[in-house]
Amino acid sequence: MEDFRAKKQRGEKITALTAYDYPTARLLDESGVDMILVGDSLGMVVLGYEDTTRVTLEEMLHHTRAVARGVKHALLIADLPIHTYDTPEQAVETSRRLVESGAEAVKFEGGATHTAQLAAIITEGIPVMAHIGMLPQSVREEGGYKVKGRTPPGAERLMRDADAVQAGGAFAVVLEIVAAETARQITAQLSIPTIGIGSGEHCDGQILVTHDLIGLFPWFTPKFVSPEARVADEIRKAARAFIYRTRSGKKAS
C-alpha cells in the first residue's frame, strides 16, 4: 500500500482495471497494471443486470476466486456489494469472506457516512480503497449517473468525504464522475492517491471497467471512455465466420 503513496509522491500515475474472470485477470496482470478490481460493475457488464444494485455477495465471491487464480503481481481488490456493509460488523464479515476468496484489499462506496465501517475493516487488518463521488449503488435514488462536485457546496461535501476516508485509514480513494477541478483539488489536498474514473486527468491514477476499455460491451460506453480496442466486433466476426464455414463447408474470404 505504501508503494502507491510513494508513486503519488513521485508523480507516477497508478493504473487500475477491472476483471471478473481468470483469463482477463491473467492478461491484465501480465500487461503490468498496478491494481485489478473485481468491481460490482460485474453485475452490468457480465451478468446483464440493469445496474449494480442486484449484485450479491455470492456472485462477488465466485468471480473473486476466478480472478485471484490469474493475478500474480497486481494488487487484487474486491468490491463489497450493496447491503453487505450496512453495519460495521457486516462490513467486516463481508470483507473477510472476500479476502478468503483471494482479495488483498476491499473497496466500498461511501465517505463520511461510512467511517465506522472503514474503521472496523481496517482494524481487522484488511486494507480499504474508498470510493466517493458518483456512487453507482445509489443510482436509483440519484436518478442517473450524474457529475458530482460541480457546485461549491457539492465540492465541499466531497472534500469532507475525501478527508474522512483518508483520516479513517483508506490507502487510496476512487473519485467517480467528479468535476475535474474538484478532483484536482482533492488530489492536491490528500496524501493518499486518488484514482479517477470520469474525473479528469489530475487524479493520481485512473481506473476503467475493462469491458469499456476494450469495447466488449458495445451497447453502452460511458462518455469519458476512449476504447482502445473493439473486441465485440472481433467476436461477431469470428462467430459469423464459424457459422458461414459450418453451414457452407467453405472458408469465409
Q: Mind telling me the catalytic residues?
A: 176
Q: Which residues bind ligand KIV (CB under 6 A)?
A: 18, 37, 39-41, 79, 174, 176, 197, 207, 209
Q: Are 199 and 158 in contact (CB under 8 A)?
A: no
Closer to ligand KIV by Cβ: residue 40 or 59: 40
Q: Which is nearer to ligand KIV, 179 or 207 (CB)?
A: 207
> Cα separation of 217 and 50, whole Å?
13
Residue nearest to ligand KIV (CB): 39
Least separation in angstroms between residue 224's CB and ligand KIV is: 12
Q: Give whichever of 107 and 184 is closer to ligand KIV, judged by the CB atom.
A: 107
Find out whether 45 and 208 touch, Cβ atoms under 8 Å: no
**DSSP letters of 151-198?**
SHHHHHHHHHHHHHHHHTT-SEEEEESB-HHHHHHHHHH-SSPEEEES
Report the SS3 class of residue 222.
Answer: coil
Give the Cα separation of 100 and 126 in Å (integer): 11
CB of 213 vs ligand KIV, minimal distance in Å: 10
Q: CB of residue 59 vs ligand KIV: minimum separation in angstroms?
A: 12
Across 110-127, b (16+ Cβ under 10 Å) vs e yields: bbbebbebbbbbbeeebb
CA distance 250 to 243: 10
The residue (of 168 and 196) whose beta carbon lies closer to ligand KIV is 196
Kindly state the smallest distance separating residue 225's Cβ from ligand KIV, in Å.
11
